[in-house]
Structure 1
Amino acid sequence: MRVISLVFFAAFLAAGAARAQAPAAEPPASEAGRFAMSPAEGGMLRLDKQTGAVSFCTVEGGLSVCRVAAEERDALQGEIERLVRENAELRAKLPGAAPEAAPRKGLPGEEEFERALSFTERFLRRMMKLFREEAPKGESL
């Protein structure tokens, strides 16, 4: 386990050294030192100092993979749901936006039922016609 942790840490150090040699734009001062890495059993823990998010990182197939903790996943899902609602509200406010139909409760009306029945009947008639056309001579459906 310690060997894996050391390999993982060495990979991060090598990546940092390669970044230092490459002429790349410096991150903003607010981004510098944003993450802190700590060895953990089977990998590393990555702490985002700005948000407090903790991820468990491992090396899989030569790539570093970080997974978000379960409680953070719930928070992210809540944020996604909030953004979906906000997006729907904003779209409804756009000029020319069609009002959303309210969700229906209960069974379909008589007209919808007859329409669905008509589609089903037409579908079955066509299928039976195809079966009759494809049936070997002498056999009947």
Structure 2
Amino acid sequence: MFIAKTLLTLAALSLGVPVAMAQDAATDRYTLEKSESGFVRLDRQTGAVTLCTEADGTLTCRMAADERAAYDADLARLEKRIEALEKRVAEGTAAKSGELPSDAEIDRSIGIMERFMRTFFGLVQEFQGQEQDGSGDPVPDRT
């Protein structure tokens, strides 16, 4: 009984440590510095700088101008990519990634599958034969 309680206590403590560490990491992620117009928030993980102002007891943060321009440029690029993909889907060209496989490629694929199936069914027959013999000898490794 004592051992069970000790194990439960240790498990609870070990589960609590990662949660506390995750909370510490979350609180250390951002740094706020006072500026003339409010605060500057630095994201220590990404390096992003955000300008924050306080009005009526509420802190409002906005991205810096250069980060906003990069964000807008990335957003525009992604919108163009989505439009191109939607156009390809509408035209039916998205599913056609190229030509159909040649006869030689089809024959090669069928040959591979045929060899696989013959080997597989050979192993099945071998196992069935051993069961009927009742020999119980170890099966040779074929991998």
Question: TM tier, shorter chain?
Answer: 0.3 to 0.5
Q: TM-score, normalization: structure 2?
A: 0.43
Q: TM-score, normalization: structure 1?
A: 0.43
Higher RCO, 1 or 2 (CA under 8 Å, sep at least 6)?
1
Q: Which has the larger radius of gyration?
A: 2
